[in-house]
Structure 1
Amino acid sequence: MEDLMSLKFTHGGNIRKFREQFGKKNVIDFSANINPLGPSQRVLDIVRRDYNVVVHYPDTDCEHLRKELAQYYDIDAKNIIVGNGSTEIIYLIARTLCPKKAAILVPTFSEYELALNTANLKFIKRLEKDNFEFPDNKVFEEINNVDLLFLCNPNNPTGNLIPEESLLELTEIARKKKKFVILDETFIDFCLARSVLEQAPENKYLIILRSFSKLWGLPGLRLGYAAGHSQTIGLLKKYKEPWTVNALAQKAGVESLRDKEHFDKSVRLVKNESRFLFEKISKIQGLKPYPPSANFIFVRIIADISSKELYFRCGRKGIIIRDCSNFRGLNNKFIRVAVRTRSENLKLLKVLKESLNGKR
């Protein structure tokens, strides 16, 4: 098995790197799963209007945003902590709870593993022969042997949803056995699947992660949050650095939650375009897409070409895809593409076909 040092974890979305790498000013980024509509216009307006707040320190407790989130989810503000992206909270959880033994279901978001680098880690594998579906029995068995389990629902990069019945059973088992389940629901709004966030305030051993980067289109402002039992959230706050969430990000978060029209429009677009893109990729010889549940499509390369070579061929044409070879549990035959607008998706399809046919 690969060790932590042998895997070179990277992420999509590095526009500066892509432009330098391919010598192109204009690229279309399918490597990062961001709302193709971007942030709400109301958010952009509020950031432009209130830019002068940068002369003051931000509210370290993010009180206004936490109250807005509490109203949005019908829970108490004491059950919410806000961070500099959900990634800050992932690391905060790891160093606060300090699990001796932890488990991660792979392939998945690499920051879970990096955050838990001092724990004795167990990797539970989603298997290709099972279409990367949730391995109920393995997870239920392993929860007995660890202090903490990280899960992603829908999973990144495979796109699988955890069956609702399995998830509810797992969170109840964890509560009874006093094992922490950290459930990352960053992409759940795109598929309108049932969240278990409403359970978090009553379960000391369940923490739900959410982000403003994906559906709300604010990755550059770095804004995320977690919901959990008040005692668990209170413990996390003791270990959290002050002022990690800037004032403009807090204002953008509040305004995002208030713009239901943008939310609904974004979900409709992604639903329609993910269906379109899946159907079209399915017809490209040499590719096998997996049914999407969020705003990205996980694809196996059947053709005689590696994910790295396909990445470079597409990149030279101004299309950036995600090479998934550095996800633990995957090899160089998998890619991931974000769902974008129809015109952008058509360009992606054209470039994928050309690249698979040897056109560089």
Structure 2
Amino acid sequence: MQAIILAAGMGKRLGELTQNNTKCMVKVNGITLIDRLMTQLSELSLKKIIIVIGYQGEKLRSYLGDNYLNTKIEYIYNPIYDKTNNIYSLALAKESLQEDDSLLIESDLIFDNSLFRKIIDNPYPDIALVDKYESWMDGTMVTLDEENNIENFVSKKAFKYSDAHNYYKTVNIYKFSKEFSKHKYVPFLDAYCKALGHNEYYEQVLKVISRLDDTHLKALPLNGEKWYEIDDIQDLDIAETIFATKKDQLIKYQSRYGGYWRFPSLLDFCYLVNPYFPPKKMKEELKANFDILLTEYPSGMKINSLLAGKYFGIKSDYVCIGNGAAELIKSLIEKLHGKIGVIFPTFEEYPNRKKQEELVTYIPDNRDFSYTAKDIMNYFAEKDIQTLLLINPDNPSGNFVPMKEVLELAEWTKKKNIRFIVDESFVDFSEGYPNNSLLHNKTLDDYNHLVVIKSISKSYGVPGLRLGILASSDKALIAWIKKDISIWNINSFAEFYMQIFGKYEQDYSNACSKFIAERKRFLSELQQIDFLRIIPSQANYFLCEIIKQYTSRELTRLLLKHYNILIKDCSTKSAFNSSNYIRIAIRDTNDNNALVNALKELQAI
């Protein structure tokens, strides 16, 4: 067997990285694509490797030489690489293609070492590696019958999103027998090029062949093996995350701060959302209005304040809508003067907006990081603070201060002339949640010094819309924040979501009740893991102490590497002092069971 690598392209979308080098010389985590590929091929005992070169081809030839780890290399030069597509590069190699069974590979791929053995060991002589379609994939798709015969090749032009559930993406690794190349592929390649020219793709020839009754061209679907095609800078960034070393992979995922939809097989137990809302019908309504929402401007702050007021049943001049709660937190904290009382551990978006000397910190003296309103008042009674922050339930501890006690804190801070900020982003996950919110006109009126912040993203399961609110009867503060942020700070999809929410309020109530039941069940399951101590929570996450067997860092890395599950390592957060704590989001039953099963396997090691 031999290998044929197509490496003549210019890779223009990679910008400066391919200004003086061919695409396969781009490095992923310090190793060039071609070195990785050649090392993988050298382990297959091939007779030779044929590389079709073009752009910066001599540099590649000089770099590799004529032998790579005892495997002979031959080169074919494509002089018109800038005027043709890859069908011409393969046409130049057609004589070689007919000399032996061949692996055909495109040079801009990175993939698991197991893929070559997977395709070589498969008994079918003519086969294409394919993978079930996911949103990141681009290029040629195929459809398969029940026996994995390729029924059709689907070009970009013919791609239909309505049929995407039936598509498989070609990985651009093929195995062709000598007989297939000689009697089918090359004759059709010659005819196709003669009729349609060289500015085409070699898959088009396979598309024609797939229409024959006796094609014998099979597909070999992947089963979770990793691969990625690198066409641009963003592809490179994603590939460096997927194929990072054990040491670096976790850091690379964490530094993305979300966007995990780019990694469809990743189970995200790090970021916090409502797994049971929005309902299917609400999503369908959003989809039905996609075209108009995409092409029209959103309303300004005044109109969206009306919507936010209607959403929560409060006066529009008491509320400011934000592009996520984070936008409002930044504006608010930078506006406030003096020292702020903060309970640690906490959501660090707040204290990170203040200088260290402006923070007065309270760390509860117990293993659960639990506290009451009385604890807060006792600690801060003699402290010089102008603002008190309460996140309720707290993040990451899940500690919850009941409404009666929150109102006691509101009275206490009012008497002491202290601004009182309450973040209730997770309050709807608490037991008795309909009665646990401060978002009522009377409450806001009674406590002019009170500021309530709520993340719609977290409670309502729509983090992609980026929505949050800040509410207060301090109209001067609200007016200042509205001027501080952009007049068009939310998009039309977010605005429309708020507009239609009223029709789905009962669905939301049902979702919260369903969540509370799942949290109770999930807690019972997690308590079976003997290396974890689960801290009670009234939020949509559990803070857990690892009491034996693993460190928090080790467990986080093991879950990511072996199970593609991402959790939050809390050891680096303030107040934990490098202790072994993790935070686990609560997802739906299937996902929660997947995590429990992974933890049970790790427990058995």
Calculate the TM-score normalised by the size of structure 1.
Answer: 0.87
Range moving further from structure 2, 31-40 or 286-295: 31-40
Q: How big is the shift at 1:262?
A: 2.2
Determine the C-alpha separation between the residues in 1 that align with 2:579 and 2:502: 39
Residue 340 (structure 1) aligned with residue 583 (structure 2): no
Q: Is the 8 A contact 1:42 1:255 kept in 2?
A: no
Equivalence for 1:60:
300
Equivalence for 1:3:
none
Q: Is the 8 A contact 1:62 1:82 kept in 2?
A: no
Range moving further from structure 2, 268-277 or 51-60: 51-60
Determine the C-alpha separation between the residues in 1 that align with 2:416 and 2:369: 30
SS of residue paired to 2:592: helix
1:277-323 CA-partner distances (Å, limit 9, x unpaired): 11111121111111221221111111131111101111121222111
Equivalence for 1:203:
447
Equivalence for 1:216:
460
Q: How big is the shift at 1:259?
A: 0.6
The structure 1 residue matched to 2:388, chosen from 149, 154, 167, is 149
Determine the C-alpha separation between the residues in 2 that align with 1:196 and 1:319: 35
1:216-256 CA-partner distances (Å, limit 9, x unpaired): 11111110001101233123223223211112111112323
Residue 236 (structure 1) aligned with residue 481 (structure 2): yes
Aligned length: 342
Identity %: 26
Residues 226 and 263 from structure 1, CA distance in 2 versus in 1: closer, same or farther, beyond 3 angstroms? same
Determine the C-alpha separation between the residues in 2 that align with 1:17 and 1:248: 18
Residue 86 (structure 1) aligned with residue 332 (structure 2): no
Residues 138 and 263 from structure 1, CA distance in 2 versus in 1: closer, same or farther, beyond 3 angstroms? closer
Determine the C-alpha separation between the residues in 1 that align with 2:261 and 2:592: 22
Q: How big is the shift at 1:100?
A: 2.1
Determine the C-alpha separation between the residues in 2 that align with 1:121 and 1:286: 35
Determine the C-alpha separation between the residues in 2 that align with 1:343 and 1:46: 26
RMSD across aligned positions (CA): 2.4
Residue 176 (structure 1) aligned with residue 412 (structure 2): no
Q: How big is the shift at 1:138?
A: 4.2
Residues 300 and 141 from structure 1, CA distance in 2 versus in 1: closer, same or farther, beyond 3 angstroms? closer
Residues 54 and 161 from structure 1, CA distance in 2 versus in 1: closer, same or farther, beyond 3 angstroms? same
Determine the C-alpha separation between the residues in 2 that align with 1:126 and 1:45: 46
Equivalence for 1:136:
374
1:146-189 CA-partner distances (Å, limit 9, x unpaired): 11122100111111101333321211122222211111000111
Determine the C-alpha separation between the residues in 1 that align with 2:509 and 2:284: 19
The structure 1 residue matched to 2:570, chosen from 302, 324, 329, is 324
Range moving further from structure 2, 348-357 or 309-318: 348-357
SS of residue paired to 1:259: helix
Letter in 2 for 1:178: N
1:10-55 CA-partner distances (Å, limit 9, x unpaired): 6896254994xxxxx5121111121123533344234323332343
SS of residue paired to 1:111: coil
Equivalence for 2:436:
194
1:77-108 CA-partner distances (Å, limit 9, x unpaired): 111100000111101101222x2211211101
Equivalence for 1:261:
506
Q: Is the 8 A contact 1:103 1:149 kept in 2?
A: yes
Determine the C-alpha separation between the residues in 2 that align with 1:336 and 1:26: 20
Q: How big is the shift at 1:264?
A: 2.2
Residues 118 and 339 from structure 1, CA distance in 2 versus in 1: closer, same or farther, beyond 3 angstroms? closer
Q: Is the 8 A contact 1:215 1:263 kept in 2?
A: no
Residues 205 and 322 from structure 1, CA distance in 2 versus in 1: closer, same or farther, beyond 3 angstroms? same
Residue 284 (structure 1) aligned with residue 284 (structure 2): no
Determine the C-alpha separation between the residues in 2 that align with 1:152 and 1:89: 15
Q: Is the 8 A contact 2:541 2:583 kept in 1?
A: yes
Q: Is the 8 A contact 1:107 1:329 kept in 2?
A: yes
Residue 41 (structure 1) aligned with residue 280 (structure 2): yes
Q: Quick one: higher RCO (CA 8 Å, sep 6+), 1 or 2? A: 1
Highest Rg: 1 or 2?
2
SS of residue paired to 2:305: helix
Residues 189 and 16 from structure 1, CA distance in 2 versus in 1: closer, same or farther, beyond 3 angstroms? closer
Equivalence for 2:600:
353
Runs of 4+ residues deviating >6 angstroms: 10-13
SS of residue paired to 1:340: coil
Residues 201 and 168 from structure 1, CA distance in 2 versus in 1: closer, same or farther, beyond 3 angstroms? same
Q: How big is the shift at 1:345?
A: 1.4
Determine the C-alpha separation between the residues in 2 that align with 1:137 and 1:129: 15
Letter in 1 for 2:279: S
The structure 1 residue matched to 2:546, chosen from 301, 314, 331, is 301
Determine the C-alpha separation between the residues in 2 that align with 1:280 and 1:138: 33
Equivalence for 1:29:
268
Determine the C-alpha separation between the residues in 2 that align with 1:18 and 1:121: 37
Q: Is the 8 A contact 2:343 2:389 kept in 1?
A: yes
Where in structure 2 are the equivalents of 1:60-139 lying within 5 Å?
60-61=300-301, 63=303, 65-97=304-336, 99-117=337-355, 120-129=358-367, 131-134=369-372, 136-139=374-377
Q: Is the 8 A contact 2:346 2:394 kept in 1?
A: yes
Unmatched tracts of structure 1, length 5 or more:
1-9, 20-24
SS of residue paired to 2:488: coil
Range moving further from structure 2, 86-95 or 186-195: 186-195
Q: Is the 8 A contact 1:181 1:207 kept in 2?
A: yes
